[in-house]
Amino acid sequence: MKEIGLKLKEKREETGVSINEVAEDLKLRPSQIVSIEEGKIEDFKDVFYLKYFIRDYAKYLGLDSEKLVDEFNEFLFDFTSKIPLADIEKAKKEKKGKKKEVTSPYTLENKNKLNIPSYVIYILIGLLVIFIGYILISNHHGSDFKDSNITYAIRR
């Protein structure tokens, strides 16, 4: 990776373009350009994007971008093939232990935010309906009763 970065840096300096100009033209941060030129793969979260940064940077400088991407792929293959098997097994175990977060709104499970069982909610709704019904019926009977008292008092 350092060889790729060195080629890019030499070509940039040969053409007289500053790091800030490259960063502005490629819509990258200057620190990303420096990391590419110094071969610091660990400064990038995703090597997939790094590959395209290298490709775009090479095109920008007029270098053979396909050749540099091929060199990067070879470097990546060599780099990943040197990872100890124990580390790979450990990463697999860690991945199995973690639950994958679902981010799609179409596959999200409806969760009760208060963790109240659904039967309790149904009982509360039923009690509320009974209470409202009781109030309505008692007011209705109460008004009938009052009306009959009025007519009874008028008849006397």
- Give DSSP secondary structure letters for 74-129: HHHHHHHHTS-HHHHHHHHHHHHHSPPPP--TTTPPP--TT---HHHHHHHHHHHH
Can you give the pLDDT at residue 155?
54
C-alpha separations of 118 from 109, 110, 130 in Å: 15, 12, 19
Residues 4 and 66 sit within 8 Å (Cβ to Cβ)? no
d(CA 59, CA 42) in angstroms, rounded, equals 23
Residue 126 has a pLDDT of 95
With vertex at residue 62, the alpha carbon angle to CA 9 and CA 10, rounded to the nearest 5 degrees, is 20
What's this model's pTM, rounded to 2 decimal places?
0.50
pLDDT of residue 146 exceeding 70: no
Report pLDDT for 119: 87
Q: Which of 1-5, 60-64, 121-125 has the lowest mean pLDDT?
A: 1-5
Mean pLDDT of 7-26: 87
Cβ count within 10 A of residue 41: 17
Read off the pLDDT band of 128 (50, 70, 90). very high
pLDDT mean over 143-151: 52
CA pair distance 94, 88, nearest whole angstrom: 10
With bands split at pLDDT 50, 70 and 90, how would you rate the model's confidence at 151? low
Consecutive H or E run containing 29: none
